[in-house]
Structure 1
Amino acid sequence: MTLRYPPARTVEVFEDVAGVRVPDPYRWLEQETDEVRHWQRRQAELATATVYEGRDRRAVQDLIRAYDSGSRPALPRHAAGRWFRAVTPPGGGAPAVVVADRPLGAGRTVIDLAGYGEAFLSWLAPSPDGRILALGVCTDGSEHNTIHLVEVDSGRTLDGAPEQILHSAWAGGVSWLPDSGGFYFFALTGSPREFRQAVFLHRLGGATTVEPIPVGEGSREYTLVQTSPDGRWAVAAHRVGSPVPVAVRDLSDPGARWRPFVTGCAGTVAGHVVGDSYVAVTDVGAPRGRVVAIPLDTADPGDPGTWREIVPEGETVLRSLTPVGEHLYLSEFDRTFARVRIIDRSGTVVGEVPLPGRGALSAPFFALTALAVGAPTDDFVFAFSTPTSSWGLYRHRPGEQEPETLIAPTVVLDASLEEGWAVAPDGVRVPYHVVCPSGSDPARPAPTLISAYGAANVPLLPQYQPDLAAFVAAGGVLVQAYLRGGGEFGRDWYLAAHRENKRVRDSDLVAVAEHLVAEGLTAPDRLALTGGSDGGLMCGVAVTTRPDLWRAVLPREPLLDLVGGTRDPYLDFVIRKAWADPDDPEQVRRLLGLSPYELVKPGVFPAVYVQAGAADPRCGPWHARKFVARLQAAQRGSEPILLHVFDNAGHGAATPHDVAVAQDAEWLAFLIGTLSLPGPT
């Protein structure tokens, strides 16, 4: 296939990074100028026309919508005996917030966001007394949101809400004071571009002030404040991927200040205030996790030797705790599959939740966000799915034999789930799951898509994902690979592909792909790869270093230019944490060897479809633009190199439903065409 790409000029621009001179011929594509926007629109038109050529766009979109009906439901939030939840109209649109006396009771509407334009509800948090509802509202797909306050009984929007912009929902929205008189929140102190944030305290009817939490000078990490149900304690959890309780304050003493708590800790200590202790899952001294209790008034909380162990490390990976009445529900991974045990406050196991199958509980992307549980409740309400069955919503109470089904799964794939593993070059076994549609011929290499991530201590879960389910329904075989760098198998698994070890993730991916080919499950001319964000970078490395291994590669919301990323305050924070120090010339040279934009050289490449969001606050669309321009110029083969930057779309977390459907449909149509799937035509 020969395509006429929109021309992309080159410029003589060089970046000096710690004394290392780096050419940047497509630097002009970083700007949001009329020239760039025109080029971007032409690329999008070309991508859409190419992807849907000879295909029924509506049929593909209908397939996406059918499997999107099984999307994960938003968990209701409890306060003062009532439950608050977001309700989205059928087919999408702005949600309403409903309050009811049961998690999914009929209830009544508190506020309808239809009047806010193309509003996305980033988070909701009722006050402990159930009187005021705080909402995070995003209107441009970017995840940037502002706080709105609504009187629950009247539905009246209140004046005096804080004006600060929240960069995202990663810090949980707001953390109410137990007396409902105000709340803590984490927000920007200036423009989103500057990416400087602080904890604020807002008093209802009063002022909003910066809260002086000692998180360490110059830290750009996220912070979430947790308060105890009895109103005595406040704890500041710091770091989004591997949180630790860095500071504590005794709220019962008006003169008490924040004082350092667990500091200088490289591991994770993520939990909740229980009585006068911080009870947490930690990987300090236990790579797979253990549960400890740290007295909040102890003289030396930073010394793990003073922590009281209440659940020792075992064979499973401990992930999080949820307080439920007088008990704690302990979420674990057993070879990636979810398990939930119930423990009392002494750590004694008193039961286990019978889950509906082998799959995953819903969980926030980052461990810090999971700490924002809101007001205490006697119910463990959770969503659960498997790779072949969509999300259901359930409720369990200590002492009950079975969970109550609140919403049953609506989609079941006619497919099987199998486990496998490949051997990495260093001898480590890299697990994967295969979702294979019924009726597939095991004797023939199948059209196969590998989905992977492997970064930031974030676990890739064996869960239902509507776009991947639609791919299987269209006749494809899905392989979900659990690469090192992710959080599926504990701290050692994560650190094995972190910073200086980043290349391990790429070798793990190649090992899985080559194993699938050697086993006859697929062949290079039938094998595709996808990943988002840092997984998009993984895709960029794969297509530039092993183009022979793939029929198609599909980065989504990708990070692709690591050197350019150091000029962006947010990405500079991410790169310094996860890749390298850009002030060190040796580390800069290593960074160049990991950056897909720098890795592009003339050659024969497989089909590539890069998807990005114009309002992405994390991996701006310029990453995709620069990489695609360079790859289009370097392509010596006949396969298309396509780019579609979607307007009113961000990094995925706040993209409007209709835009997300269009994104997923075009992504799927590209796979249907390149892998010759028997999907809709």
Structure 2
Amino acid sequence: MTYPPTRTVEVFEDVAGVRVPDPYRWLEEETPEVRRWQRRQADLATSVVHDGQDPEAVRDLIQAYDSGSRPALPKYAAGRWFRAAGSLIVVADRPYGPGRPVIDLAGFGSERNPAFLSWLAPAPDGRVLALGICTDGSEHNTIRLIEVASGRVLDGAPEQVLHSAWAGGVSWLPDSSGFYFFALTGTPQEFRQGVFLHRHGGTTVEPIPVGEGSREYTLVQMSPGSRWAVASHRVGSPIPVAVRDLSESGTAWRPFVTACPGTIAGHVVGDHYIAVTDVGAPRGRVVAIPLDAADPNDPAGWTELVPEGDTVLRSLTPVGEHLYLSEFDQTFARVRIIDRSGATTGEVPLPGRGALAAPFFALTALAVGTPADDFVFAFSTLTSSWGVYRHRPGDTGIETLSAPTVMLDAELEAGWAIASDGVAVPYHVVRPSGSDPTRPAPTLISAYGAANVPLLPQYQPDLAAFVAAGGVLVQAYLRGGGEFGRDWYLAAHRDKRHVRDADLVAVAEHLIAKGLTTADRLALTGGSDGGLMCGVAVTTRPDLWRAVLPREPLLDLIGGTRDPYLDFVIRKAWADPDDPAEVRRLLRLSPYQLVSPGVFPAVYIQAGAADPRCRPWHARKFAARMQAAQKGEAPILLHVFDNAGHGAATAHDIAITQDTEWLAFLVKTLGLRGRLNRPRPT
């Protein structure tokens, strides 16, 4: 394999006195030289991936299974439902009624930079619609205000840029006179954010006491009929850090729950904050905290509504006078209905064993807007695509609002591998129907295991297309994720981050020992922090894999300490970069620093040029070092896509192209040619 020429430089990074060589530092810059190099790498990747096969056949497969992609749920306000329908924003009397168009998003973008809807939030009175618009795939979005009756774009919208949709967009005041929002206070590169209050005519900084120097996200929560506002803080493990009485003019925010290492994620309900918490309950319990409590930090003053049980409690959704409690039963979703005293009044009869659609982070899930009188939710399984359903309190059944469009012709089974410390690590296997389970099969492990984020047994179009092409999917639930509660998450957090990587190896070795696959038929993929997992796996255990596919990856933890956003993430989840011992531990976890000459499997790295979280230089530097270190014949490929980011705001056509090339690499590397099948409709 002849790669584009790549020079090295004599550069060293000094982190807390630890001197680290960085021979590809120049690839961090966005210079004409780097962009030319990046383009040549992309051209090489495309030509190698598609050589000898029909890219249109792969693209057709991706598009067919993409028809089952997760829909954006409609938002409720003033008796009507607002939703995106293609480029149109539609308002209707029913969640998916025909309704009428309010505005066409195409007017906010261009052919080169189409507008992407990051979020939408109707005012409680339904007269004004707030939209978050991104035009470069970066997730950075700006607020647009639309008059619902006329579709007119209103003047005077805030000018601040929102770094992402992680704080839910905007939180309207109950009287629709304005809203709170969380946005950048400087450039995106500086990654400094704050809460703002916008009223018609002006925007001011909101002085919420979140702690000196905190870079965590903050979401303001309110509820119709309540006088209270709560500021929830921390994106992965939120707590109600401050409270304000809105009934009295001029009252200030006061600290609320500030001394809590765990999670308290809930909603304002009357004069209480009712929440799921892992304080005193690793699998979660439901508590009510008085919003006027003299000492809200003392759990003795909380009222327990639902005690800890065998399932993992995850989130609450207000529905009229009820609360719908989402929980995981061995990763599969259950939804219990409770009243405000915590008494169980029913359970939602879900369509199968699968997952409810949920935001990536717990904080984002708190941005529910105006509560509806019924529970509208999206649901899928590992073998059936997303449908949207409605449950009304008191009903014994559910109503299908939007039926699933794809049924994967596959079988599902469960298993577990025993990690080196004796812990059972669960996984699910999705196998094409009719395949022989006794013969080693081309297999793809998909995993994450980080940040208290649960990997759910849900439909993913790209993974479904891989199974349709003849592959076996293994979804592994590694420690560090949120599938099994707080203890599972903390078991691979900070100084225990290596546990996640050991769990992955245990699963891979178990699958090989079981005869499900062999090392020359086994591939691995993961995105973001899961991309770092891939980088560790390919550099420390190259013998286990035929192919490794990191997507939007974080790959240089040492270099990440120079990036304000990643410095925030690394300090929270990995180590203190001001401590030399901690820096040396980071070096043992950082894929870019782990690369040394050897024989590696095929690698295909995919990244976005506009990614604000794992900037494309991570992929560039890692690919360059891997290409120089490769002593074997397998290709090390890199494709950085223009106008693409971390995935949450990438335009649909670009995402389809990314998935097509990703799948084509797997089809070619694992020998799945000629097994490209169309989906079976439901």
TM-score by length of 2: 0.98
Aligned to 2:630: 635
Aligned to 1:126: 122
Aligned to 2:504: 509
Counterpart of 1:108 in structure 2: which amino acid?
R
Of 521, 526, 531 in structure 2, the residue corresponding to residue 526 of structure 1 is 521
- Cα shift at 1:255: 2.4
Q: Tell me the distance in 1 between the aligned counterparts of 2:158 and 2:401.
A: 35
Of 96, 102, 109 in structure 2, the residue corresponding to residue 110 of structure 1 is 102
Q: Tell me the distance in 2 between the aligned counterparts of 1:377 and 1:532.
A: 34
Asked if the contact 2:468–2:676 (Cα under 8 Å) also holds between the matched residues in 1, the reply is no
Aligned to 2:680: none
Matched, 1:166 2:158: no
Aligned to 2:615: 620
Q: Tell me the distance in 1 between the aligned counterparts of 2:334 and 2:60.
A: 34
Q: Report the RMSD for the aligned CA atoms in angstroms.
A: 0.7
Aligned to 1:651: 646
Aligned to 1:215: 210
> CA offsets per residue over residues 149-170 of structure 1, 9 Å max, x none?
0000000000000000000000
Counterpart of 1:70 in structure 2: which amino acid?
G
Aligned to 1:496: 491
Counterpart of 2:101 in structure 1: which amino acid?
T
Asked if the contact 1:213–1:236 (Cα under 8 Å) also holds between the matched residues in 2, the reply is yes
Q: Tell me the distance in 2 between the aligned counterparts of 1:103 and 1:418.
A: 35
1:389 alignment partner, SS class:
coil
Q: How does 1:168-567 map to 2 (within 5 A)?
A: 168-204=164-200, 206-567=201-562
Q: Tell me the distance in 2 between the aligned counterparts of 1:111 and 1:12.
A: 54
Aligned to 1:91: none
> CA offsets per residue over residues 362-420 of structure 1, 9 Å max, x none?
00000000000001211100000000000000000110011100011000010011000
TM-score by length of 1: 0.98
Of 136, 144, 151 in structure 2, the residue corresponding to residue 140 of structure 1 is 136
Asked if the contact 1:425–1:511 (Cα under 8 Å) also holds between the matched residues in 2, the reply is yes
Counterpart of 2:663 in structure 1: which amino acid?
L
Q: Tell me the distance in 1 between the aligned counterparts of 2:228 and 2:476.
A: 41
Asked if the contact 2:74–2:95 (Cα under 8 Å) also holds between the matched residues in 1, the reply is yes
- Cα shift at 1:79: 0.2
2:132 alignment partner, SS class:
strand
Of 61, 72, 75 in structure 2, the residue corresponding to residue 74 of structure 1 is 72
Of 19, 22, 36 in structure 2, the residue corresponding to residue 38 of structure 1 is 36
Consecutive unaligned residues of structure 1, counting only runs of 5 or more, are 89-94
Corresponding pairs, count: 672
Asked if the contact 2:547–2:603 (Cα under 8 Å) also holds between the matched residues in 1, the reply is yes
Q: Tell me the distance in 2 between the aligned counterparts of 1:471 and 1:551.
A: 16
Asked if the contact 1:146–1:166 (Cα under 8 Å) also holds between the matched residues in 2, the reply is yes
Q: Tell me the distance in 2 between the aligned counterparts of 1:227 and 1:405.
A: 30
Counterpart of 2:66 in structure 1: which amino acid?
D
Matched, 1:605 2:617: no
Asked if the contact 1:226–1:235 (Cα under 8 Å) also holds between the matched residues in 2, the reply is yes
Counterpart of 2:558 in structure 1: which amino acid?
V
Q: Tell me the distance in 1 between the aligned counterparts of 2:179 and 2:437.
A: 57
> CA offsets per residue over residues 536-589 of structure 1, 9 Å max, x none?
000000000000000000000000000000000000000000000000000000
Q: Tell me the distance in 1 between the aligned counterparts of 2:547 and 2:590.
A: 20
- Cα shift at 1:441: 1.6
Asked if the contact 1:101–1:107 (Cα under 8 Å) also holds between the matched residues in 2, the reply is yes
Q: Tell me the distance in 2 between the aligned counterparts of 1:443 and 1:311.
A: 45
Aligned to 1:92: none
Q: Tell me the distance in 2 between the aligned counterparts of 1:194 and 1:373.
A: 29
Counterpart of 2:645 in structure 1: which amino acid?
G
- Cα shift at 1:62: 0.7
- Cα shift at 1:443: 2.3
Q: Tell me the distance in 2 between the aligned counterparts of 1:17 and 1:251.
A: 46
Counterpart of 1:172 in structure 2: which amino acid?
G
Q: Tell me the distance in 1 between the aligned counterparts of 2:589 and 2:325.
A: 37
Counterpart of 2:227 in structure 1: which amino acid?
R
Asked if the contact 2:263–2:278 (Cα under 8 Å) also holds between the matched residues in 1, the reply is yes
- Cα shift at 1:663: 0.2
Q: Tell me the distance in 2 between the aligned counterparts of 1:228 and 1:99.
A: 22
Counterpart of 2:74 in structure 1: which amino acid?
P
Of 57, 70, 78 in structure 2, the residue corresponding to residue 59 of structure 1 is 57
Counterpart of 2:22 in structure 1: which amino acid?
D
Asked if the contact 1:179–1:231 (Cα under 8 Å) also holds between the matched residues in 2, the reply is no
- Cα shift at 1:45: 0.2
1:169 alignment partner, SS class:
coil
Q: Tell me the distance in 2 between the aligned counterparts of 1:622 and 1:417.
A: 38
Q: Tell me the distance in 1 between the aligned counterparts of 2:413 and 2:184.
A: 45
1:582 alignment partner, SS class:
coil
1:7 alignment partner, SS class:
coil
2:386 alignment partner, SS class:
strand
Counterpart of 1:101 in structure 2: which amino acid?
D
> CA offsets per residue over residues 217-241 of structure 1, 9 Å max, x none?
0000000000121251100000000
Aligned to 2:665: 670
Matched, 1:13 2:4: no
> CA offsets per residue over residues 98-126 of structure 1, 9 Å max, x none?
00000000000001111222000000000
- Cα shift at 1:669: 0.1
Asked if the contact 1:460–1:482 (Cα under 8 Å) also holds between the matched residues in 2, the reply is yes
> CA offsets per residue over residues 607-664 of structure 1, 9 Å max, x none?
0000000000000000000000000000000000000000000000000000000000
Counterpart of 1:286 in structure 2: which amino acid?
A
1:25 alignment partner, SS class:
coil
Counterpart of 2:195 in structure 1: which amino acid?
V
Aligned to 2:46: 48
Asked if the contact 1:201–1:211 (Cα under 8 Å) also holds between the matched residues in 2, the reply is yes
- Cα shift at 1:509: 0.2
Counterpart of 2:497 in structure 1: which amino acid?
K
Counterpart of 2:144 in structure 1: which amino acid?
H
> CA offsets per residue over residues 7-49 of structure 1, 9 Å max, x none?
1100000011000000000000000000000000000000000
Asked if the contact 1:55–1:680 (Cα under 8 Å) also holds between the matched residues in 2, the reply is no
1:435 alignment partner, SS class:
strand
Q: Tell me the distance in 2 between the aligned counterparts of 1:617 and 1:86.
A: 25
Asked if the contact 1:608–1:642 (Cα under 8 Å) also holds between the matched residues in 2, the reply is yes
2:214 alignment partner, SS class:
coil
Q: Tell me the distance in 2 between the aligned counterparts of 1:531 and 1:173.
A: 27
Q: Tell me the distance in 1 between the aligned counterparts of 2:299 and 2:409.
A: 49
- Cα shift at 1:442: 1.8
